[in-house]
A and B are shown apart, each in its own frame.
Chain A
């Protein structure tokens, strides 16, 4: 298959829907052999994407999944730690188990997956690239999803540390999405009317799309980014205007 990622073996965690699905699709269009992992197979057709069942919060399952992938594909070139998210929760009353689960999925799991990938990549002549999907929630206050914001802030710092430890064979970078329209938009942003109001607050005038994030991921995975490691590419359409500007002018 032709394309700038022809022959590349790519794993996208949480790649069966949402942003991860968009990333997986983009790599597939670029010629890569793309694996997606999840706890359960999705309802929608996977097409050419290859499904690996795994709960990435469990280190044994991560190891087993990577073994199956390498056994079939011969190696791994790009890993995108995309699986993550959180329902809204009041930080004052959130249970310990809930908070631990959010941190396990959004911070510990990317570390486990990265470790398993790095072990393979260090032995490959061309090494590999790991891209961690962070969030604007990790860069500014994240009220209503506090543990999630903390985990994402931690993931950004982890990206920088691993980029130093695992260089030069493995490059690690972060992509920080802003507000993205996915199947979960109703939960995060409310009704279609509410989503439209939210979109109007973004300087770009719209919510982001999975394809917007995918483009950033593909760049960071590409040969053009060979001197880019420990970086954070923020894809948020200009970000959030300071609230006081509208309050002061109204």
Chain B
């Protein structure tokens, strides 16, 4: 029986460690030919090393899978173009892009620096834009040539981007932007046979094992819900041809749980059919706040 992603060519960014590495391993085990992208930075994005990506490639090939390494900077227009080009040159096609790469530079908003803001927004938002942009151009060309591509974009948002996270203003803003980007992609790219979805993962990695160490720790026995490998099965299905009917969705995924998020609908409202007096809005808003269902709290808020 053919595996779910047999022969499909998939780029995974930031696949040298953590969740990205688990995605690459799982996709390869499902038959995909994986381009393992990672520039090998520290958790805050500094430095570079080819080794993490190459180690994952070696691990995949030793297990009987197919993978090559790439060390381009995905938030760079030309670098991400080279990444997409390498996948197509090496394997003759490109089927899915898993945008996972990104780092954090946590700081309370009032002390946040310009450099930290720019760096975090760049790697997450521009990174998600660049790789998918070049992949989409390829799928458009393929569709026009009659190749009938089944392109898949899988973005990585976060609960931080949906509900906010104390100390992570830039990260949260960027992850929220990625959720909106996913919606636009899903609406525009269907005509080229491509879907776009996002995940909001919760798992134990370099990024979370410090700050959220209690919650993330491996239990003494039983199911290790926070293992990052628990996020990847959904990615494998989304990257396959079987997910063609699913687009524009955001999934929270952790342990054995998959939760549909978003589906942003309008909540309580008042419409008086004419311009409001500012003073009247006070009472109206107070009623609306009371009517809205309880919000998920901002991560880390007291």
Residues of A within 8 A of B (CB): 40-46, 50-53, 64-65, 68-69, 71-72
Contacts and interface: CB of A to CB of B under 8 A. Distances in A.
A64 B92 contact: yes
Interface residues of B, number: 18
Contacts of A69: 89
B33 interface: yes
Interface string B90-108: 1110000000000000000
Contacts, number: 43
B294 to A, nearest CB: 51
A42 B61 contact: yes
B185 interface: no
Interface stretch (B37-45, B65-73, B248-256): B65-73
Contacts of A41: 33, 57, 61, 66-68, 90
A50 B57 CA distance: 14
Secondary structure class of chain B's binding surface, majority of residues: helix
B88 interface: yes
Given A51-B68, A53-B33, A45 B54 contact: yes
B50 A53 contact: no
Contacts of A42: 61
Nearest to A71: B89
Interface in B145-175: none
Interface string B27-69: 0000001000000000000000010001001100110001111
Given A40-B66, A45-B69, A50 B58 contact: no
B90 A53 contact: yes
20 contacts: A41-B57, A41-B66, A41-B67, A41-B68, A41-B90, A43-B57, A43-B58, A44-B58, A45-B50, A45-B57, A46-B69, A50-B86, A50-B90, A51-B68, A52-B89, A53-B66, A53-B90, A64-B92, A68-B89, A69-B89
A68 B88 contact: yes
